[in-house]
Amino acid sequence: MKRVETSEILDLTAYEKIRERYLAETIAMKKNRRIPLGDRLTFIFENRDTVIFQIQEMTRAERSVREEAIADEVAVYNELVPGDHELSATLMIEIPEAGRIRSELDRLVGIDEFVCLEVGEARVPATFDAKQFEADRISAVQYVKFCLGAEASAA
């Protein structure tokens, strides 16, 4: 899948004009890309469109107008664009009780060793973004990739 280019990102004024419609379209698209696992874990499978949306929203939230700042956001979020024979997902760890967030996240340390995708008879292990967790601590948002290979992609 082609990576996002800085020139594809709208300036703040242009984005504000289309944001309401764009937001509704993206929410509808993500609904079909969302897979809950129990009541605490949700995978949202990413593509170029979801990544462009994330970049637009981050540049809006940060009021980014400098081309260098926008290029930095594009570089960061391009890591979510799946490569050939690859799936990319954001794993959301949802813990509604504020007082339990740290203890629940601590309990999930090591989750990266257990997440896999079953494609036919094959088990494809997840590759977690190393910047999202440490040996003793993880974040509630994880970026995950599944390298399928040509055979599993065809399945």
Same domain? For 76 and 89 the reply is no
Judge whether 113 lies within some domain: yes
Tokens 């999202």, residue?
Answer: 132
In the chain (155 residues long), the average pLDDT of successive 10-residue segments reads 96 97 97 95 97 97 94 95 95 93 92 92 92 82 91 62
Ramachandran class of 57: left when φ > 0, alpha when ψ lies in -120 to 50, beta otherwise = alpha
Number of domains within the chain: 2
Judge whether 41 lies within some domain: no
Tokens 């994880």, residue?
Answer: 142
Instruction: Give dist(CA 132, CA 155) in Å, integer.
Output: 30
Q: Which of 107, 88, 104 is nearest to 96 (CA)?
A: 104
Q: What is the largest CA-CA distance in the chain?
A: 49
Judge whether 112 lies within some domain: yes
Same domain? For 118 and 143 the reply is yes
Q: What is the pTM of this model?
A: 0.87
* Number of neighbouring beta carbons within 10 Å of residue 148: 19
Q: Which of 87, 88, 104 is nearest to 138 (CA)?
A: 104
Number of H helices and number of E strands within the chain? 5, 8
Same domain? For 155 and 104 the reply is yes
Same domain? For 73 and 95 the reply is no
Judge whether 152 lies within some domain: yes
Q: Can you give the residue range of the structural domain that contains 93?
A: 85-155
Same domain? For 126 and 90 the reply is yes
- b/e code 20-35 from CB counts within 10 Å (16+ = b): eebeeebeeebeeeee
Same domain? For 32 and 56 the reply is yes
Predicted local confidence at residue 154, as pLDDT: 61
Same domain? For 56 and 106 the reply is no
Predicted local confidence at residue 153, as pLDDT: 62
Q: Which amino acid is at 150?
A: A
Instruction: Give dist(CA 99, CA 147) in Å, integer.
Output: 36
Same domain? For 98 and 77 the reply is no
Instruction: Give dist(CA 60, CA 39) in Å, integer.
Output: 31
Judge whether 61 lies within some domain: yes
